[in-house]
Amino acid sequence: MLRRRSIRPRHAAAALVVAGACLTLPASASAHGLSGGRQLPIPEWLFAWAAAIVLVVSFVGLTVLWPRPKLAELARGRTLAVPSAVRVGGRALLGALGLGFYGLTVWAGLAGSSNPQANLAPTAVYVAFWVGVPVLSLLVGDLWRAISPWRTIAELAGWLGRRATGPDGLPKPLAYPERVGRWPAAAVLLAFAWLELAAGDKDDPTLLGVLALLYGAAMLIGTSLYGIRFLDRADGFAQYFRLAGALSPLRWQDGSLRLRWPGTGLAEVEPAPGLAAVVLTLIGTTTFDGLSGGELWSKDGALGPRLEDLFGDLGLSADHAATAASTVGLLLCVALISGFVRLGIAGIRSVDPKRLDSRTLIVRFAPTLAPIAIGYAVAHYCSLLVVQGQALGYLLSDPLGDGSNWFGTAGWGIDYGALGVNGTWYVQVAALVAGHVAGLVAAHDLALRTFRGPRSAARSQYWMLAVMVAFTSLGLWLLS
């Protein structure tokens, strides 16, 4: 048991110093004001301090009240049996819906209007898929596993093959190279982020339709070679959505439904090579998305215009120069986030440098960074989901933009004040703080399983506290 006296005053003071030092960033940023004319009941700098204090208090509370690992035990939760008919029927229905929506999106992209506002494909890809699926996964578990169109196609093909040739008729899949791990998934997420944040024609429906077809074909080819588990390793979107589902209070497994405390599913995420790259790519690309909309990047004389001028001087057109500048900014943000986390990992390793190496630690602690990535995503895209998500109402009735009205909803509009400016801010701050607190809890629990004794585990988490407070500060600054 960890005794109360192990939390020394100088340790708490050190934590407060870390918080104060990291909070200088949002304090200085508050001079820029909050976009959109927010009229908050308290100043934004107070939000920043309150968020950091929540993290520090959580750290001290965990050190005192959480003396042994609990997350894996809490993740077991309560298991509820699901009737076979409900399970099979629900799986078939969700698979059909996912496959149908995928086919409709591809069809709209290839055959529909070239106007991104009138075509279903851009909203389907960037809003329903990229933002909506992880948010739903936070609520109901790993939804993508049920609705993934390429998983549905692969499972259906396997079922038909077994019926035609017998259980031993199909060739055995190749062994997936474990050392490759999740690196292909990280590359997929980085490529998608580049498309969303740097490509000049990212809203082109035809391009989206073609890319959706090509990606689906790549996943099916990989599945035919390495089996269905290829999707669990190489599909970047499956990795992202599974991490969101690990934070859900629900887990569907082996025909049963498990009810558990939210966030405890992180204890069941399997560390693997490349998983840290997946998480750091998510954090870094979302960071650039926020940075690119602010004055530090986009105002005259800032880094973005300077890079564009540099690439323009090299002979690139204005559009290509803007794409090249955004590409550099995107990669720099991922590199900076990765470097900062590696510094934190180096600090954690200093607690027991002879027994643990940095590579082992970053693989082991990668899942504890997932709540930060999810919190960043929810904070950054919540208004997009609430506002632009309403467009699905009329786009599903007229996916090609040709004047159809399949479901009688083509005349629906968008309520741009559905969430409100202040409401958006509160959701953003809540998502950031909740994500960082969840990451702190997961890291503390993992440290107790990694280091020898609760005192060493607590000492290692000073570094993680610094990472969490700095990321919270960065997130609030980018939102402001």
Does the pLDDT value for residue 22 go beyond 80? no
Tens-place pLDDT, residues 75-91: 888 888 888 888 888 88
Q: Are 182 and 277 in contact (CB under 8 A)?
A: yes
Q: Are 269 and 76 in contact (CB under 8 A)?
A: no
Which residue has tokens 């899942």?
367
Query: What span, in angstroms and rounded, lies between the C-alpha atoms of 121 and 88?
Result: 30
Helix axes 133-140, 370-388, angle to 10 degrees: 120
Report the predicted TM-score, pTM, of the whole model to 2 decimal places: 0.87
Query: What span, in angstroms and rounded, lies between the C-alpha atoms of 111 and 108?
Result: 5
Helix axes 149-165, 84-111, angle to 10 degrees: 120
What is the pLDDT, as a whole number, of residue 24? Answer: 38
For 97-115, b/e burial (b = at least 16 CB within 10 A) is: ebbebbebbbebbbebbee
Instruction: Kindly state the percentage of the chain with pLDDT values over 90.
Output: 50
Tens-place pLDDT, residues 250-305: 998 777 889 999 999 999 998 899 999 999 999 999 989 888 877 788 888 788 99
Does the pLDDT value for residue 382 go beyond 50? yes
Q: Which two tokens stand for residue 155?
A: 């499972």
Tens-place pLDDT, residues 146-202: 999 999 999 998 888 888 777 666 788 899 998 899 999 999 999 999 999 999 899
CB neighbour class for 355 (10 Å; exposed up to 12, middle 13-18, buried from 19): exposed
Largest CA-CA distance found in the chain, in angstroms, rounded: 71
Tens-place pLDDT, residues 411-438: 999 998 888 888 888 888 888 888 888 9
Enumerate the domain spans of the chain.
Answer: 4-479
Q: Are 351 and 460 in contact (CB under 8 A)?
A: yes
447 vs 352, 360, 443, 458, CA distance in Å? 12, 13, 6, 8
β-bridge partners, 453: none
Span 391-419, average pLDDT: 93
What is the pLDDT, as a whole number, of residue 29? Answer: 35
* Nearest partner of 283 among 377, 383, 352, judged by Cα: 377
Q: Are 352 and 452 in contact (CB under 8 A)?
A: yes
Does the pLDDT value for residue 346 go beyond 90? no
Cα atoms found within 13 Å of the Cα of residue 392, Cβ hemisphere only:
18
What is the pLDDT, as a whole number, of residue 45? Answer: 61
Q: Are 455 and 64 in contact (CB under 8 A)?
A: no
Tens-place pLDDT, residues 92-132: 999 999 999 999 999 999 999 999 999 999 999 999 999 99
Tens-place pLDDT, residues 192-237: 999 999 998 999 999 999 999 999 999 999 999 999 999 999 999 9
Contacts of 224 (CB under 8 A, 6+ apart): 154
Tell me the average pLDDT of the chain: 84
What is the pLDDT, as a whole number, of residue 50? Answer: 67
